[in-house]
Amino acid sequence: MVDIIITRDIAACHSVRKAVFVEEQGIALEEDLDGMDEIATHLLAKHEGTPIGTARMLEKGHIGKIGRLAVLKSHRGQGLGAAIMRAALEELGKRPHLSEARLGAQIEAIAFYEALGFTPHGDQFLDAGLPHQEMVRPL
Q: What is the mean pLDDT of residues 132-138?
A: 98
Residue 1 confidence (pLDDT) above 90: no
Whole-angstrom Cα distance, residue 20 to residue 29? Answer: 11
Nearest to 45 by CA among 94, 82, 89: 82
Tell me the average pLDDT of the chain: 96
Percent pLDDT > 90 in the chain is 96
The domain covering 2-138 belongs, at the CATH homologous superfamily level, to: Gcn5-related N-acetyltransferase (GNAT) (3.40.630.30)
Confidence class for position 79, pLDDT limits 50, 70, 90: very high
**Model pLDDT, residue 122:** 96
Q: Which residues contact 24 (CB under 8 A, 6 or more apart)?
A: 73
pTM of the entire structure?
Answer: 0.96
In order, the DSSP letters of 35-57 are: S-GGGSEEEEEEETTEEEEEEEE
Query: pLDDT confidence of 129, banded at 50, 70, 90?
Result: confident
Give pLDDT tens digits for 10-69.
999 999 999 999 999 999 999 999 999 999 999 999 999 999 999 999 999 999 999 999
